[in-house]
Structure 1
Amino acid sequence: MDRKIEKKTWTWQRILLILVGIGGVALIISAISKTGGASRLNVQRERLLTDTINEGVFKEYITLFGVVEPIKTVYLDAVEGGRVEEVFLENGAIVESGQDILRLSNTDLELNVLNQEAQIVTQVNNIRQTSILMDQQSLNYREQALDVQYRIDQLEKQFKRNESLYRDSVISQVDFEATQDEYEHLMRRTKLMKATIEKDSLFQVMQKDQLETTLNLMRRNLDFARRSLDNLTIKAPISGQVSSLDNEIGQLINRGDRIAQIDILDDYKIRARIDEFYISRIFPQQEGNFTMDGQEYTLRIQKIYPEVTNGSFEVDLIFVGDRPANIKRGQTISLKLSLSDEKEAMLLAKGGFFQTTGGNWVYVLDPGGEIARKRRIRVGNQNPNYYEVIEGLQPGEIVIVSSYENFGDKDELVLK
């Protein structure tokens, strides 16, 4: 008779499998407990740049590139247009104030001056002729007045005689009244002649004043035209060095064209461009510095040009104290412009990490230097070399400052 064989539930194979599974789970739990559930990434140590947090002097500044320019430049523009006849100097020559630089010719201007001179001569002749005529007229009036007075003197004597004869009935009343009427007529005419002479004198004064005013105006116009001729010769208004003088004989120059410029070489300034981001933080008298040949020199903002072009604006900086003896016009200078005073702060070196984190967090190495963990921080001001650390880091801690672009969002980096 057959006997039923019962199947065993716990075979040694099943027990071994269960034990292996329990061991794997234990290993997983152990790993999780060690890492706290953080995501990790293995990185090569030699590819990383690090910086040790330290306390030091922090000063906010920006680096600028400026060009050395003369302290003052005078531009020479053509007051009158014309053709270049002579160029007395070479570009770059040193000139004294009043020295001739260039001569132009302008036929139309010269003819205009000649015409004005002819008009003035004609006007002078007219004034003289008018003055002679007025003097003759005045003399005629005075001569007429003299004749009238002479006749009055004669009639006055005759009138007195006739008056006596009339009282003695020697002459008739008609003869006496005729003499009396003529005498009174001459007396009235005398008054009229006096009034005429007075008015003629006033008219002559007014007429001469008007003619003299017209003549003076024409003389001023002639002087102006002659000065225009003088402007055809370009002279140096100040002493200095001529530059940008590139005109050739025969060249036509229009009024207002730039001919040259004169630079005063007694001192220099630096003209620098600044990003418009800083326009609200730039003020006159703000100082900067640069180093040349091992010596530091100080600059101060003298003038700010507020016009923004291509995202930047310009400033002029002058030297405070000494300036380099071998500095040359056109030389490029790298300088630091201060935006704040010096202060004590925790310093973090600038690096590529900022493009990823915006300064909100960094990877900080543990004391063993094997693992770098993500930590939130806060930074303040910055300069071209350092960030000012406000919170989140302590002096002596080591931070990865190279780019985080390939790290994703890992919580920890394992350095190999």
Structure 2
Amino acid sequence: MDRKIEKKTWTWQRLTLIGAGLALASVLIATIYKDAGTSRLNVEKERLLLDTVQRGVFKEYITLFGVVEPIKTVYLDAIEGGRVEEVFVENGSMVKKGQQILRLSNLELQLNVLNQEAQIVNQINDIRQTSILMDQQSLSLKDQALDVQFRMDLIEKRNRRNQDLYTDKVISQVEFEDTRDEFEHLKRRQLLLSNTIEKDSLFQVMQENQMASTLDLMQRNLNFARNSLENLIIKAPIDGQISSLDTEVGQLIIRGNRIAQIDVLEQFKIRANIDEFYINRIFPQQEGTFLMEGQTYTLRINKIYPEVTNGSFAVDLIFVGERPERIKRGQTISLKLSLSDDTQAMLLAKGGYYQSTGGNWVYVLDPAAGVARKRNITVGRQNPNYYELIEGLQPGEVVIVSSYENYGDKEELILK
């Protein structure tokens, strides 16, 4: 007799199938719950610029563009104005010290100099005439003193003879006293002349010193007046190359106008402008480098100009060691100016992302998931190529460094 076999409701196959379904449903529910608040955006990976975070040498520097200038320049200004009569050299020529560059003419100046010269010569002649009169007066006093001395000698002899004759009663008392009185008068006159000659000598010494000073001043004024005419010939004060000379024959040059400049080409400097943002980090003796014809050359800041114009200030850099042989005045040089020493740091390439994030976060690739996730970071110093990473990233991680302008505030980018 057949026996009815009842089917079991919970077989092991059914239980396994139900367990797998529940696990799959749990995963789907967990994924949906996890991603419920995450915003995503699809992007094409081929259009992205990527950079791998690495540890390396970081040096803070800025890139500058400088112009090659002579280390010494002398400007030629017109000391006297006038009309250009001759131009002896061409613009760009090499000149020697004392070489004539151009000649001016100024009729009014020439007449003024001649009149001034005539007045000075007349004054010099008056002073010399006064000196001659003083000498004549001195000679006259000395002549009078000699005459008095001669008369005293005669009267003294006569007085001694009359005294003997008066003693012998040969002459009268009146005659004797007249001779004696005349002798005493000559003695007093001799003393007066002696004092006068002494004072005249002192006065003459003072006058001679004063006249000598006046003559020296007059002579210097005369030389100055004559030099005014010599200033009409413009000469090179140093050896060098003349530039900015654009005068023509017949042109009127006003006194004080710039005529040309002479550059000393034996040494050069680099004049560069720096953004005012760095004004507190620029100091004398800071060094920079530039590459020319495959060789690196070193520069050092020699002078800082503190005036800020259009958001920048200027510095002069001079060469340390050798300089390029074929460097030319006016040439533009791209150089790197160091702001710090070499240090080890994590490096992230600069890119358009910084404008959107301010360096506060980036998208980091997850190759396994095919997405790039937003992550907060901290950056420190920077140079034209890299940012110094403080925290938030590890070496080897890949970051999107192109612009984030079209991504908004999406948490994840799905890479297609």
| TM-score, with length taken from structure 2 | 0.88
Aligned to 1:398: 398
Matched, 1:52 2:52: yes
Aligned to 1:245: 245
- 2-structure distance, mates of 1:46, 1:355: 21
- 2-structure distance, mates of 1:302, 1:262: 21
Match for 1:312: what amino acid? S
Q: Is the 8 A contact 1:60 1:382 kept in 2?
A: yes
- 2-structure distance, mates of 1:325, 1:203: 71
- 2-structure distance, mates of 1:28, 1:369: 16
Aligned to 2:138: 138
Please report how far the alpha carbon of residue 360 of structure 1 lies from its aligned counterpart in structure 2 after TM superposition.
Answer: 1.0
Please report how far the alpha carbon of residue 72 of structure 1 lies from its aligned counterpart in structure 2 after TM superposition.
Answer: 2.1
Aligned to 1:90: 90
- 1-structure distance, mates of 2:129, 2:61: 81
| Range with bigger deviation, 66-75 or 42-51 | 42-51
Match for 2:356: what amino acid? T
Matched, 1:201 2:211: no
Q: Is the 8 A contact 2:117 2:222 kept in 1?
A: yes
Match for 2:89: what amino acid? L
Q: Is the 8 A contact 1:120 1:215 kept in 2?
A: no
- 1-structure distance, mates of 2:233, 2:254: 14
Matched, 1:214 2:211: no
Deviations 1:228-287 (Å, cap 9, x if unpaired)? 222221111111111100011122222221111111222322211110111111122222
Taking the TM superposition and a 5 Å limit, the aligned residue runs for 1:82-231 are: 82-231=82-231
Match for 1:206: what amino acid? M
Match for 1:53: what amino acid? V
Please report how far the alpha carbon of residue 326 of structure 1 lies from its aligned counterpart in structure 2 after TM superposition.
Answer: 2.7
Q: 1:87 to 1:183 in 2, by over 3 A?
A: same
Q: Is the 8 A contact 1:65 1:333 kept in 2?
A: yes
Matched, 1:386 2:386: yes
Aligned to 1:297: 297
Match for 2:239: what amino acid? S
Aligned to 2:333: 333
SS in 1 for 2:409: coil
Deviations 1:354-385 (Å, cap 9, x if unpaired)? 11211111111113252211111111111111
- 2-structure distance, mates of 1:89, 1:294: 38
SS in 2 for 1:143: helix
SS in 1 for 2:307: strand
| TM-score, with length taken from structure 1 | 0.88
Please report how far the alpha carbon of residue 26 of structure 1 lies from its aligned counterpart in structure 2 after TM superposition.
Answer: 9.1
Deviations 1:18-55 (Å, cap 9, x if unpaired)? xxxxxxx9999545423262222233323322211111
Aligned to 1:284: 284
Q: Is the 8 A contact 2:269 2:319 kept in 1?
A: yes
Match for 1:271: what amino acid? R
Aligned to 1:274: 274
Matched, 1:359 2:359: yes
Aligned to 1:9: none
- 2-structure distance, mates of 1:215, 1:380: 76
User: Percent same amino acid among aligned pairs?
Assistant: 73
- 1-structure distance, mates of 2:266, 2:152: 88
- Deviating above 4 A after TM superposition, structure 1's stretches of 4 or more consecutive aligned residues are 25-31
Aligned residues: 392
| Consecutive unaligned residues in structure 2, runs of 5 or more | 1-24
Please report how far the alpha carbon of residue 206 of structure 1 lies from its aligned counterpart in structure 2 after TM superposition.
Answer: 2.1
